[in-house]
Amino acid sequence: MRALRSLLVVGSVAALGGTLAVSAVTASATATPARYRARAHAHLTAAFLAEARAALVKDLNRNHGTAWWVHKPPAGRPGTVNSVSAATYNWAGYADYSSTKGKFTRVSGSWTVPGVTCTAEDRITSEWVGLDGFSDSTVEQDGTASQCFEGRAVHYSWYEMYPGNTIEVGKSVAAGDRISASVKRTGSSYTLALTDSTHTANSFSRTATCGTATCLDTSAEWIIERPSYPIGIVPEAQFKTVPFSAASETAAGRTSTISGYSGDNYRITCIDATDSYDIASVSGLTGGKAFTTTWRNSY
């Protein structure tokens, strides 16, 4: 996978691992195939949730949220109107970037948790906003994720603060939930907050610290991601679209939209391992702060 042409790996692949736990389950976006219906009732049990959590923790790495680049244009090419195109094996979305350490102090955005179509194959998709991960391995991020486990969809909310593992918070996240999330830095102190306006019990706010020499804060991101197993990237869970809106970032004290940022702005497509087709495509920006990601393939 890593031997493909023009590959530039920046850090390790994204993952949702460590102490992660599963929250809640909803039905698939389409009817469950007949051969899996016998398992469908299991999703109501605590045993199923425990099994799903154990599988997720066993199979997934830590260091979630770092981009695996296929192609990233050189710095110094701002995209304040039309974003510079880039491609990764695991991210789809937008990122604002600076080579100056400590440039970004806040990122925020909103989205709707997607419904996912599940088969027997385990697949995952994750939606998040965050600082770092674009060109370094430190990550300060929060969001939601949807896992297909044994033919059923499992949704949860999470946050990750470097160097810790991903922490699950939500207990009742479901497809269609309206999410707003943010990461804010003041000096070496970070506040990671998420609001689920549909099921408010999933909302949280956490504080953490990371030294300015360690967490570099050189990027702000709004991303759909397929994380990784120890042996490779997880297939992207099948969804229709995920709309992002209200995207905002603060850099050097100036708050703006994605395209309103005066530095380098990247529109990122997630592509397959052969560099031949899209896994998830990304629309252009509306009002500089809204876009839609569309599922194209799983791997």
User: Mind listing the pLDDT tens digit for each residue in 126-160?
Assistant: 999 999 999 898 999 999 989 898 899 988 899 99
Q: What is the pLDDT of residue 178?
A: 98
C-alpha 21/C-alpha 52 separation (Å) is 8
Q: What is the pLDDT of residue 82?
A: 53
Q: What is the pLDDT of residue 33?
A: 43
Tell me whether residue 19 is in a domain.
yes
Q: What is the pLDDT of residue 16?
A: 37
The CATH number for 121's domain is 2.60.120.700
Tell me whether residue 1 is in a domain.
no
Please give the C-alpha separations between residue 200 and each of 57, 63, 168, 178, 196, in angstroms, as whole numbers.
Answer: 25, 28, 15, 10, 5
C-alpha 172/C-alpha 198 separation (Å) is 10
Helix (H, G, I), strand (E, B) or coil at 97: strand
Tell me whether residue 35 is in a domain.
yes
Q: What is the pLDDT of residue 172?
A: 83
Residue 275 backbone class (left: φ over 0; alpha: ψ -120 to 50; beta: rest): left
Tell me whether residue 112 is in a domain.
yes
Number of domains in the chain: 1
C-alpha 4/C-alpha 1 separation (Å) is 6
- Which residue do the tokens 């370094």 mark? 136
Tell me whether residue 2 is in a domain.
no
DSSP H/E element including 143: strand 140-149
Predicted TM-score (pTM) of this structure: 0.83
Tell me whether residue 3 is in a domain.
no
Residue-wise pLDDT tens digits, 160-171: 999 987 888 887
C-alpha 260/C-alpha 248 separation (Å) is 9
- Which residue do the tokens 């192609």 mark? 71
Q: What is the pLDDT of residue 293?
A: 98
Please give the C-alpha separations between residue 88 and each of 8, 25, 69, 269, in angstroms, as whole numbers.
Answer: 9, 29, 4, 6
Q: What is the pLDDT of residue 36?
A: 36
| Residue ranges of the chain with per-residue pLDDT less than 50 | 1-42, 76-81
Beta-carbon contacts of 205 under 8 Å, excluding residues fewer than 6 positions away, are 191, 192, 193, 194
Terminal Cα distance for the chain, rounded: 12
Range of the domain at 267: 8-295
